[in-house]
Amino acid sequence: MTDRLLIRLFKWTAAFVAVFFLFTASAVGPKKNSSTIQPAIEQAYLLMEKGQRQEALEFLNATKSKPNLSESDKSQLALAVDKISRMFLTEKAQKSFERAESFYFEQKSEAKVFYEEARAAEPSNVLIALGLIRFYLQQEQCGPAAEIVSQTKKQLPLSFDLEFYSAEVNHCSGEPSEPLLIVPAKPTGHIKAVEINALLSQQAFLSGQFELALSEADKAAQKDSAYPEAYYLGWQARQALLKPALDPAKRYLLLCQSVTTGLRRKYTATPLLCSRKVKVAEYVKEHEKQTN
């Protein structure tokens, strides 16, 4: 199903929900904003059908700023903003993005060409922007990644994904990031809960909060014992705290012995997955010498 059809489907769904709420309201009495939220969402999808993403997002954000909105209203509006910011308006952009994603792990130069082609077609599509940011982070090209983050923040409202990668860009440059403002209780999409813990660990480490960095790394390891980065971050924090760090270093190297495409796909939001094997191996070699 193309995104054009999805836009129409969402529009029809929004219209149905609006009618449903109207009848419900007449049966049980008036409810605050029940007559305004769904029509606003429907109007946003109508704007999207005309190719007016920016106007649709501005309209929803203006609706979000109205007083006396319920938590349910805010949640529905936030969901609509997230969906609209990710929808494709053109087949060209969608196909280019899909080709970029298919090349992402194996053929870097081809992936870059198609990401840039997709972004040129739809510069305000957050899904394309995030793909290109991930690509640059994996290459440790912090500058280009930071530029795309800056451009995207000017065009689109802050989302968890955008905030997550904005922090990753800071960490790429060795700088601490601001505390996350948006942390979902149950992450959806490609960012795993363990990857949020990993981000928080690195954030704490770069801020000099080594105990907190270790705590977040340990949480990640407890949630997913097969996640290599949890042990790298634990090793890093333990060294800073002058605690024994040989075991997490060995565990990291063991998990990174065979970095398959499947492993990289599983942890897509960890661009530098298993990329620090050389320095960790040197640490293990040196400390095993001292032990012997």
Return the ∠ at Cα 46 (arms to 40 and 48), rounded to 5°: 110
- Residue 19 has what pLDDT? 39
pLDDT digits over 178-234, tens only? 777 666 666 666 789 999 999 999 999 999 999 999 999 999 999 999 999 999 999
The CATH architecture annotation of domain 90-173 reads Alpha Horseshoe (1.25)
Q: Are 43 and 143 in contact (CB under 8 A)?
A: no
Q: Are 124 and 157 in contact (CB under 8 A)?
A: no
- Model pTM greater than 0.75? yes
Q: Kindly compute the dihedral angle of the four CA atoms of residues 190, 194, 198, 199, in this order, to the nearest 10 degrees.
A: 40
Show the tokens assigned to 53: 């993403």
CB atoms within 10 A of CB 254: 11
- Residue 237 has what pLDDT? 98
Cα distance between residue 171 and residue 203, in whole Å? 7
pLDDT reading at 18 higher than 60: no
pLDDT digits over 130-151, tens only? 999 999 999 999 999 999 999 8
User: What is the average pLDDT across 234-240?
Assistant: 98
Say if 90-173 and 189-292 have the same CATH topology.
Answer: yes
Q: How confident is the model at residue 169 (pLDDT cuts 50, 70, 90)?
A: very high
Q: Kindly compute the dihedral angle of the four CA atoms of residues 257, 203, 266, 235, in this order, to the nearest 10 degrees.
A: 20
Q: Are 158 and 182 in contact (CB under 8 A)?
A: yes
Q: How confident is the model at residue 74 (pLDDT cuts 50, 70, 90)?
A: confident
The ranges assigned to domains in the chain are 3-63+80-86, 90-173, 189-292
CB atoms within 10 A of CB 148: 22
CATH number for the domain formed by residue range(s) 189-292: 1.25.40.10
- Residue 143 has what pLDDT? 95
- Residue 9 has what pLDDT? 54
Cα distance between residue 136 and residue 122, in whole Å? 19
- Residue 292 has what pLDDT? 65
Region of 270 on the Ramachandran plot (φ > 0 left; ψ -120 to 50 alpha; else beta): beta
As a whole number, the mean pLDDT across the chain is 85
Return the ∠ at Cα 155 (arms to 112 and 151), rounded to 5°: 50
Q: Backbone phi, then psi, for 88, in 5-degree steps?
A: -90, 135
